[in-house]
Structure 1
Amino acid sequence: MVRAGIAGLLATEPDFEVVGEAESGETALGIAATLRPDVVLMDLRMPGMGGVEATRRLTRSADPAPDPAPRVLIFTTYEEDDQILAAIEAGANGYLVKAAPAEELAAGVRAVAAGQTVLAPSIAVQLVARAHSGAERREEPGPRLTAREVEILRLVATGMSNPEIAAALFIGESTVKTHLLRTFEKLGVSDRTRAVTRAMECGIL
């Protein structure tokens, strides 16, 4: 009933097309392999394979462009630190809770589809708190980012796209991309979402 309600809600958006539904992680993988959706809205706890493992397989198994892996937006009732980090480390591009209003869910799907990172405010607070706690326990220094790299990463964390960051900082979009690639390399990550969470863990953000 919940899944049908969410699908019905999304189907009312003029720029959305709901192409499939799944009751388990295994089913989601099979449907996604056939339908190749742009975005997968993923719960965490389901019968059989859970959302974290399904996310990991979805984001790792797709062929290279022009047929890239779908972007995954976690949409769940669970807000535990370990679940949040596990989902993001598995490749999720965003994390919203089911208490979110309908307009926030729709905006989150659009943002994730556009390559942005989406975190519910309560989730962002928990990640920051965890990062600060981890920073206090660390003895070895973390990756060293330049002031500009940190500045750009802060804007990424707010959900801004590369063109928006370029306009805000009065630099070229290619310059933004170059800084982000260097940041990814220093942090040992491969995408924007994990860069933000890794920077939080290291106390950089």
Structure 2
Amino acid sequence: MSEESSGPAWVTVLLADSQPAIRYGVRSALEDVGGIAVVGEAATANATISETFRHQPDVLVIDPQLGEFSTVDVISRVARIAPETRVLVLSSADDDSAIRSALHAGARGYLIKSSDLDQVVRGVQVVAAGEAIVGKAIACRFGALMRSATGPDPYPFPQLTTREREVLDRIAAGKANSAIARELALAPKTISNRVSVVFGKLGVADRAQAIVLSRDAGLGRG
């Protein structure tokens, strides 16, 4: 972990991808943002394990298809040698099996390589803050995807904060923003802002889509 001696803590990042162009693009985007330091790069699974152990980064951005080991092996090994390192997968694979394997192995986020670099930067920031994130391209499948592997999930949508999940649960129950504001003792404007954030994280366009997605994940039925 890295911290500036006279300033706030920096987020340290290790990039692991077999394609130099991908590493260069992500590094450039991250280094344009204050508070993020790329401490190393790796092009193979073995090098990823070695560099992770050496640097103990806050976030490992990785394409797990590095050749030597499976996705589960790579992420599991990282968890053993650097338990405080959070893994953000950046992969070209968007099939349910690949996503499920990575998340179950311990990845805190999963983005597709076609994602905008701004989204990758946000992914690093979100994961570093202890939250989870999935790309908009797979967000609509996320609840069902996790349930298919683990059964009913008592904590669906890990990309949401506890308060955001409380808001979504009430949206799923069909409650208006004004009712949600009263129940949570928050200002209507605050609820409106939180609803917008929730929709963005879920990748939905409107309330109807949010209700369908959240009820499918078991919310709104308490």
TM bucket normalised to smaller: 0.5 to 0.7
Give the deviation of 1:159 after TM superposition.
2.5
Distance in 2 separating the partners of 1:163 and 1:126 = 22
Residues 33 and 126 (structure 1 numbering): CA distance in 2 closer, same or farther, change over 3 Å? same
Q: Which residue of 2 aligns with 1:96?
A: 111
Q: Which residue of 2 aligns with 1:122?
A: 137
Letter in 1 for 2:114: A
Answer with 1 or 2: which has the greater Rg: 2
> How is 1:166-181 mapped onto 2 (pairs within 5 angstroms)?
169=184
Q: Is the 8 A contact 2:144 2:217 kept in 1?
A: no
Please provide the CA RMSD for this pair: 3.3
Q: Is the 8 A contact 1:94 1:118 kept in 2?
A: yes
Secondary structure, counterpart of 1:18 in structure 2: strand
Q: Return 83-92 or 9-18, whichever deviates more.
A: 9-18
Distance in 1 separating the partners of 2:33 and 2:50 = 25
TM-score, length-scaled by structure 2: 0.59
Q: Which residue of 2 aligns with 1:83?
A: 98
Q: Return 80-89 or 41-50, whichever deviates more.
A: 41-50
Letter in 2 for 1:7: R
Residue 25 of structure 1 is aligned with which of 30, 45, 56? 45
Q: CA-to-partner distance for each residue in 1:130-172, whole Å, 9 max, x for gaps?
A: 467x49xx9xxx66x9xxxx6xx45x53522x5777998469x
Aligned residues: 156
Q: Which residue of 1 aligns with 2:199?
A: none
Residues 158 and 6 (structure 1 numbering): CA distance in 2 closer, same or farther, change over 3 Å? closer
Any runs of at least 4 consecutive aligned residues in structure 1 with deviations exceeding 6 A, and if so which? 163-168
Unaligned runs of 5+ in 1: 63-67, 172-199
More relative contact order, 1 or 2 (CA 8 Å, 6+ apart): 1
Residues 163 and 129 (structure 1 numbering): CA distance in 2 closer, same or farther, change over 3 Å? closer
Letter in 1 for 2:41: E
Residues 79 and 166 (structure 1 numbering): CA distance in 2 closer, same or farther, change over 3 Å? closer
Residues 163 and 81 (structure 1 numbering): CA distance in 2 closer, same or farther, change over 3 Å? closer
Distance in 2 separating the partners of 1:100 and 1:19 = 23
Letter in 2 for 1:69: E
In the alignment, structure 1 residue 52 sits paired with structure 2 residue 66 = no
Residues 130 and 115 (structure 1 numbering): CA distance in 2 closer, same or farther, change over 3 Å? closer
Distance in 2 separating the partners of 1:17 and 1:79 = 28
Distance in 2 separating the partners of 1:50 and 1:7 = 24
Structure with greater proportional strand content: 2
Residues 61 and 158 (structure 1 numbering): CA distance in 2 closer, same or farther, change over 3 Å? closer
Identity %: 29
TM-score, length-scaled by structure 1: 0.64
Distance in 2 separating the partners of 1:51 and 1:23 = 15
Q: Which residue of 2 aligns with 1:10?
A: 30
